[in-house]
Amino acid sequence: MRIIPAIDIIEGSCVRLSKGDYTTKKVYNEDPLEVAKTFEAHGIEHLHLVDLDGAKSKHIVNYKILEQIASKTSLKIDFGGGLKSDEDLRIAFNSGANQITGGSIAVKDRETFLGWLSRFGTEKIILGADAMDEKIAVSGWQESSTEELIPFIQRYQKEGIKYVICTDISKDGMLQGPSVVLYKKILQKTANHSTAIRLVASGGIAKYEDLNILKELGCEGAIIGKAIYENRISLKQLEGFIIKS
């Protein structure tokens, strides 16, 4: 299972929110590159970089930070937040993103998202399936939709999507453990298909043991944010997990 630390950006700083609520913003470091380099120094190879300003603005904003991290580390970066147009995607990939995550766009403009999938391929495009009470949330989680989470994933699975990042918003930033029951359900409901879903769990990871649980469940990756920044899980522990894996 891949270990994927998260860096969320607001106004150039590395922050964390609780349940996606911008009023709960806590700044952890004003230099995202420094944070990324620290991750890399501990054997971490992947990074989940979220442009929270972009998610709110509905277009890419913090691409310079993406460019900086991509050019000064060897981290494989998946980038998301506010990607709405072909131009946003062009900027993200030109700035060094290995993959991009499309969430709101996959709900609101299916045609554009499928176009990206067709043009860039299933290794490059991740489906962002963020939900509250199994209903998809959009626009930086500021809006809910009527889309049911599992049918939403299944529809895109039929289109060949491989990577899915699923955040249970009620768990995000709360340090109360990941949404194990939900992930188990997703993996069961998407199992009988020619395209296997590579499910990346996000939200709620609070302790090292959570990683073993998600790995046993069959998650392909785990995104960890606040647990690292609040020293609930040490980078040394993550280094050990990666070596063991």
Region 97-113 average pLDDT:
94
* Backbone Cα Rg of the chain: 16
Q: What is the pTM of this model?
A: 0.95
Helix, strand or coil, per DSSP, at residue 150: helix
Q: Across the chain, what does the average pLDDT equal? A: 94
Domains and CATH numbers, the chain: 2-244 (3.20.20.70)
Distance CA(119)–CA(125), nearest Å, equals 10
**Residue 195 pLDDT more than 90?**
no
**Residue 67 pLDDT more than 60?**
yes
Helix, strand or coil, per DSSP, at residue 32: helix
Q: Active-site residue numbers?
A: 8, 130
**pLDDT (tens digit per residue) in 28-48:** 999 999 999 999 999 999 999
The closest of 149, 113, 109, 154 to 131, measured between CA atoms, is 149
**Residue 140 pLDDT more than 80?**
no
- What is the token pair recorded at 115? 């176009």
